[in-house]
């Protein structure tokens, strides 16, 4: 699978997983600003006084922040809007492909291309990558301190890989900066941690490529299944 096809998948996933839920106004705001709301029946006031019974045969006034709004009908169109717009419908195959992925792959796609920062997603793909990397280290003894620091580097490697996929001009973190961040000398970083840092970044790059290939294969299966149903 060539680089152009992988980049096409990245672009399509960004569009398919974009959150467009904030594109419309709330119902009351739309009624207040546009017909069919009748604002002359109850003129808008900064503070509206409402008369309420006090339980003793009298009335008491209560200040309400909003005045009543009289609405003639619940929609301003002869035809209601479709439940799904054309854009969302065109990209539903990609979303179905993403939702069919295993948990750690699904988490990576939503974090990297859908900008979903849910903590559970971050835990899922970090745990998977560390488990895979730890298996490659079998037979290579590690000190407890070194292992603890490597686990901390997993999350930084995930951020590095995700940022590189979203921004072509991204500058990778320098080893000196990472060493200072973890209170490690430059010599110790070069001798002990540099190779592990490179290995963790490569692990996330392999994860990304595997996920994109799986999504494209699932998308092909979904499209072929839809085509067969129409025949």
Q: Is 203 found in the same domain as 120?
A: yes
- Whether 78 maps to a domain, the answer reads no
216 and 102, same structural domain? yes
pLDDT by residue for the chain (231 residues), tens only, comes to 688 899 999 999 999 998 776 555 555 655 556 555 455 655 555 556 777 777 777 778 777 666 566 655 555 556 666 666 777 788 889 999 999 999 999 999 999 999 888 999 999 999 999 999 988 888 777 788 888 888 889 998 999 889 888 777 777 777 778 888 788 888 888 888 888 899 999 999 999 999 999 999 999 988 877 766 665
* Judgement on whether residues 113 and 142 belong to the same structural domain of the protein: yes
Query: Among 155, 156, 161, which residue's Cα sits nearest to residue 126?
Result: 155
Number of structural domains (the chain) is 2
Residues 151 and 43 in one domain: no
Q: In this structure, are 153 and 207 located in the same domain?
A: yes
User: The domain containing residue 95 runs over which residues?
Assistant: 3-23+85-230
Together in a domain, 17 and 50: no
52 and 131 assigned to the same domain = no
Distances (CA, A) of 18 to 8, 36, 87, 104, 116: 16, 32, 11, 20, 10
Q: Do 63 and 145 fall into the same domain? A: no
Task: Give the Cα separation of 1 and 97 in Å (integer).
Answer: 18
Taken in order 217, 221, 222, 226, the sign of the CA dihedral is positive
**Is 28 a member of any domain?**
no
Q: Are 145 and 162 a contacting pair, CB within 8 Å?
A: no
pTM attached to this predicted model: 0.71
């Amino acid at each position: 699978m060539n680089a152009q096809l992988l980049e096409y998948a990245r672009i399509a996933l960004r569009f398919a997983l974009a959150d467009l839920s904030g594109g419309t106004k709330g119902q009351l705001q739309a009624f207040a600003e546009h017909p069919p709301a009748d604002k002359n029946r109850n003129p808008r006031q900064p503070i509206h006084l409402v008369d309420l019974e006090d339980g003793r045969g009298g009335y008491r006034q209560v200040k309400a922040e909003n005045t009543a709004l009289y609405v003639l009908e619940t929609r301003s169109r002869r035809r209601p809007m479709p439940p799904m717009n054309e854009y969302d419908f065109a990209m539903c195959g990609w979303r179905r492909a993403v939702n069919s992925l295993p948990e750690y792959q699904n988490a990576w796609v939503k974090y990297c291309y859908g900008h979903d920062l849910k903590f559970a997603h971050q835990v899922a793909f970090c745990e998977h990558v560390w488990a895979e990397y730890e298996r490659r280290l079998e037979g290579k003894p590690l000190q407890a301190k070194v292992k603890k620091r490597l686990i901390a580097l997993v999350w930084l490697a995930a951020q590095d890989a995700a940022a590189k996929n979203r921004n072509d001009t991204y500058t990778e973190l320098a080893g000196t900066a990472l060493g200072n961040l973890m209170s490690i000398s430059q010599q110790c970083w070069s001798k002990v941690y540099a190779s592990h840092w490179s290995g963790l970044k490569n692990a996330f790059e392999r994860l990304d490529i595997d996920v994109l290939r799986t999504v494209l294969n699932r998308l092909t299966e979904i499209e072929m299944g839809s085509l067969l149903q129409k025949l």
